[in-house]
Amino acid sequence: MKKIIVAIDGYSSCGKSTIAKALARYAGYTYVDTGAMYRAIGLYTLRNGLTEEADIIAALDHIQVGFILVDGAQHVTLNGEDVEGYIRTLEVGNCASRVSAIKEVRAFLVKQQQAMGEAKGIVMDGRDIGTVVFPNAELKLFLTASAEVRAQRRYDELIAKGEKPNFAEVLADVNDRDYRDTHRAESPLRQAEDAIVVDNSHMTEEEQMEVVYGYFNRFQ
């Protein structure tokens, strides 16, 4: 069977990674969470107190981002350290959003992401996968859901992790992040012209997966 590239883009907290992981499992493909790569760099800047753009760019020479499999789950590594347990906080998410606006950071990660897709058979999720990383991807999905629905999902995730979030703050954070992701000068989040939009505000995970598997199966 011919292997393809599946590019999944969309707003934060709209379930991209859940869909991408499930589709990768279904297809027997490799899954790559590019948000985790930006988060790893965000974590590096936080740990090292880097706030100036020039310092962050200079630090790229000392940063290696990778992935390892731990009990079948993909964990992101920062200079060889498994940092999966540290990157999913609001604080690191905000740092990731900031570093992701820097052209040099994007070029650094995009190059690595393109190399990962050379053999195809990959499901990659992020913000610029269908527009910049793989403009020729065979299947492009653009996921969306209302800000309130996404804030509720993020809120539930944080509660499940033992954090004590405030819903209004989480919603404000979702709106801020959307604004930054869609208004930055470098590779802003936008729907590729040939992307299929999936609005999952009112879909169950099963309903969504049925839709997504349907699109994937057109290529088989």
| Interacting residues with ligand DC (CB under 6 A) | 12, 34-35, 38-39, 93, 96-97, 100, 126-128, 177, 181
Three-state DSSP class for 88? coil
- Minimum gap (Å) between residue 193 Cβ and ligand DC: 18
Q: Could you please report the per-residue DSSP string of 41-64? A: HHHHHHHTT--SHHHHHHHGGG--
Nearer to ligand DC by C-beta: 93 or 117? Answer: 93
- Minimum gap (Å) between residue 126 Cβ and ligand DC: 2
- Minimum gap (Å) between residue 220 Cβ and ligand DC: 26
Nearer to ligand DC by C-beta: 121 or 188? Answer: 188
- Minimum gap (Å) between residue 43 Cβ and ligand DC: 11
Task: Judge contact between 129 and 80, C-beta under 8 A.
Answer: no
User: Strand 5-10 to strand 30-33: parallel, antiparallel, or no bridges (unpaired)?
Assistant: unpaired
Nearer to ligand DC by C-beta: 39 or 140? Answer: 39
Two tokens at 41? Answer: 């760099």
- Minimum gap (Å) between residue 172 Cβ and ligand DC: 15
Determine the straight-line distance between the first and last CA of the chain, rounded to whole angstroms. Answer: 7
Max distance between CA atoms of the chain, in angstroms, equals: 48
Task: Judge contact between 43 and 95, C-beta under 8 A.
Answer: yes
Nearer to ligand DC by C-beta: 201 or 217? Answer: 201
Cβ contacts of 162 within 8 Å, gap of 6 or more:
none
Nearer to ligand DC by C-beta: 3 or 103? Answer: 103
Q: If you search the block for the tokens 């590239």, which residue do you land on? A: 5
